[in-house]
C-alpha cells in the first residue's frame, strides 16, 4: 500500500523513530543521542521523549531517558495477534527441554532479526533475549539463514545498508565475504556462527518454511563455546533442528 503525503502523520512517524532508537545496546539515551540515532533535530527529539515520559512509556532522570515496561504493550499486542509465535512456542519448549539448550525463532525485519519466540535453558549471552529483541542480521545465525532466502541482489542491498561492525575479533565485516558465507549457508541449508555475535557463543540455525516452501522464519540453538567445537555442535544439534523444521513445515502459512 502506498500512503500519500497528505495521509502521513509526521508526528507519529517521528515518535516511532524515537522508540526504535532504544535497543539492548542503547538502553539509556540523552536527547542528543536519540536525535542523532533517529535522524531528527534536537527540539523534535526532546518533545517526543518528553511526551513518551508523560504517557509512561519512558522514564527520565534529568539527563537520560529509558523506556519503561509499558512500551512492551506495543509489541506484545502485535505478537499476540501473530499465529507464528503461538505455533512454534510448544515446539521450542519441548526441543529446549530435550537438548538442554536455549532455542529461538526469529523473523527478518529489514537489516535486523526480531525474536518472536524463545525458550531459554541458561543464559549464554550478556544481554537478555526475549520476544521482541533485535539483533543485526549480518552476524547472527538466524539472520544469515533469513538473508540466504533472498535474491543475491537483495542480500547485497541489505548488507550495504547495515552498520557492519566487528562485534568480536571473529565477526565477518567484509561484504563480499559475508555474501559468500550467506551463499554457502543457502547451499548447505543451515547457518553456523562461531563467536561472531559475542565471544563465548556459538549458534546454529535452519530456515522455517511454510507449506509452499517459502522461508518465513528461522529456528536456532545457542550454545556456550565451551560445550564443544563448531563441528561437534553441528553433529549434536543439527538433527534435532532439522526434525523440528520438518514438523513445522506443514503448520506454517
Q: How many C-beta atoms surround the C-beta of residue 37 within 10 A? A: 17
User: For 120-214, where are the E strands, in sequence order?
Assistant: 134-136, 191-194, 201-209
Residue 7: what pLDDT?
A: 76
Which candidate, 98, 40, 54, 65, places its Cα nearest to that of 221?
A: 98
* pLDDT higher at 71 or 199: 199
CB-CB contact of 157 with 179 (8 Å) = no
Instruction: Evaluate if residue 3 carries a pLDDT over 60.
Output: no
Please write the tens of the pLDDT for every residue from 27-57.
899 999 999 999 999 999 999 999 999 999 9
Please write the tens of the pLDDT for every residue from 115-130.
999 998 766 666 778 8
Cα(213)–Cα(39) distance, rounded to whole angstroms? Answer: 39
Cα(62)–Cα(212) distance, rounded to whole angstroms? Answer: 53
Instruction: Note the pTM of the prediction, 2 decimals.
Output: 0.74
Residue percentage of the chain with pLDDT more than 90:
77
* pLDDT higher at 4 or 117: 117
Residue 93: what pLDDT?
A: 94
Is residue 161 classed exposed, middle or buried when 0-12, 13-18 and 19+ CB atoms within 10 A define those classes? exposed
pLDDT band for position 74 (cuts 50, 70, 90): confident
pLDDT band for position 1 (cuts 50, 70, 90): very low
Residue 76: what pLDDT?
A: 62
CB-CB contact of 155 with 147 (8 Å) = yes
Average pLDDT in the 139-151 region?
A: 98
Instruction: Evaluate if residue 2 carries a pLDDT over 50.
Output: no
Residue-averaged pLDDT of the chain: 91
Amino acid at each position: 500500500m502506498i500512503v500519500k503525503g497528505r495521509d502521513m502523520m509526521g508526528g507519529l512517524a517521528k515518535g516511532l523513530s524515537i522508540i526504535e532508537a532504544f535497543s539492548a545496546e542503547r538502553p539509556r539515551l540523552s536527547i542528543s543521542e536519540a536525535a542523532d540515532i533517529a535522524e531528527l533535530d534536537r527540539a523534535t527529539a526532546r518533545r517526543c521523549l518528553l511526551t513518551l515520559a508523560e504517557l509512561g512509556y519512558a522514564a527520565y532522570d534529568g539527563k537520560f531517558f529509558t523506556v519503561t515496561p509499558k512500551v512492551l504493550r506495543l509489541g506484545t499486542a502485535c505478537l499476540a495477534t501473530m499465529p507464528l509465535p503461538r505455533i512454534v512456542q510448544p515446539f521450542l519448549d519441548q526441543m529446549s527441554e530435550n537438548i538442554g539448550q536455549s532455542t529461538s525463532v526469529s523473523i527478518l525485519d529489514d537489516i535486523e532479526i526480531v525474536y518472536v519466540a524463545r525458550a531459554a535453558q541458561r543464559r549464554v549471552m550478556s544481554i537478555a533475549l526475549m520476544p521482541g529483541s533485535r539483533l543485526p542480521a549480518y552476524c547472527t545465525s538466524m539472520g544469515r539463514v533469513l538473508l540466504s532466502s533472498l535474491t543475491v541482489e537483495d542480500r547485497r542491498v541489505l548488507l550495504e545498508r547495515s552498520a557492519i561492525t566487528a562485534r568480536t575479533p571473529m565477526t565477518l565485516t567484509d561484504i563480499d565475504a559475508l555474501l559468500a558465507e550467506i551463499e554457502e549457508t543457502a547451499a548447505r541449508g543451515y547457518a553456523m556462527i562461531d563467536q561472531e555475535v559475542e565471544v563465548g557463543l556459538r549458534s546454529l540455525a535452519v530456515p522455517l518454511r511454510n507449506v509452499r516452501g517459502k522461508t518465513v522464519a528461522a529456528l536456532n540453538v545457542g550454545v556456550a563455546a565451551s560445550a564443544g567445537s563448531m563441528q561437534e555442535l553441528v553433529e549434536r544439534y543439527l538433527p534435532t533442528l532439522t526434525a523440528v523444521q520438518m514438523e513445522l513445515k506443514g503448520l506454517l502459512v
